[in-house]
Amino acid sequence: MRLKFRNITATPDSHVAEWGVEGIATAIERGGLAHLRRIAHEALSDPYGGVALDLEQAIAVADSPLAGLMGELLERARSGPRGEAANRVLLAIAQSGLTAREFAARLGTSSSRLSTYATGKVMPSAAALISMERLARS
C-alpha cells in the first residue's frame, strides 16, 4: 500500500522537512520502513532541527506503537553533550526565577540567542554556560 497524505500540500516523495507534523505522524502510523528511515535520518542528522521538532510533536499524536520507537530514537540522538547543555540552560533559567527574556537581558544576550541554547540548536560556550549557572545562583 502506497502512503498518501491528506490535508497537506507535501507528498511522501517531498523532502521530509516539508511534511510537517501531520505528514510525519501519518508516516509513523501508515508508512513503511523507507519512510521511517527518512524521518530517522533527518532527526539524527540534526536532533534539534525542524524535522526533529516536528517528530517530537508527531510522536505525541501518532496512534502507533512505532511512535514509541521513534521517541526512543530521538531521545538517544539528544542525549549527547548538546542535549546536556540545553538541559543545564533550561535549569539555570528555571532556578533564577526570572523570565527567559529577563534572564537573557541580565546575561547581555538576546532572547532568541538564549532560546537557541535552551533548545539545543546552538551549543553555548563554556564561559556562557558558567555565566548562566552563576546568574541562576545569584
In DSSP notation, 30-55 reads H--HHHHHHHHHHHHH-TTSHHHHHH
Q: Give me the count of residues in the chain.
A: 138
CB 70 within 8 A of CB 55: yes
Exposed, middle or buried: residue 55 (CB in 10 Å: 0-12, 13-18, 19+)? buried
If you count DSSP H runs as helices and E runs as strands, how many of each does the chain have, helices first?
Answer: 8, 0
| pLDDT tens-digit map of 45-103 | 888 889 999 999 999 999 999 999 999 999 888 888 888 898 899 889 999 999 999 99
What is the C-alpha separation between 105 and 101, in angstroms, rounded? 6
| pLDDT tens-digit map of 91-118 | 899 999 999 999 999 999 999 999 999 8
Residue 118, classed as helix, strand or coil, is helix
82 against 136, higher pLDDT? 136
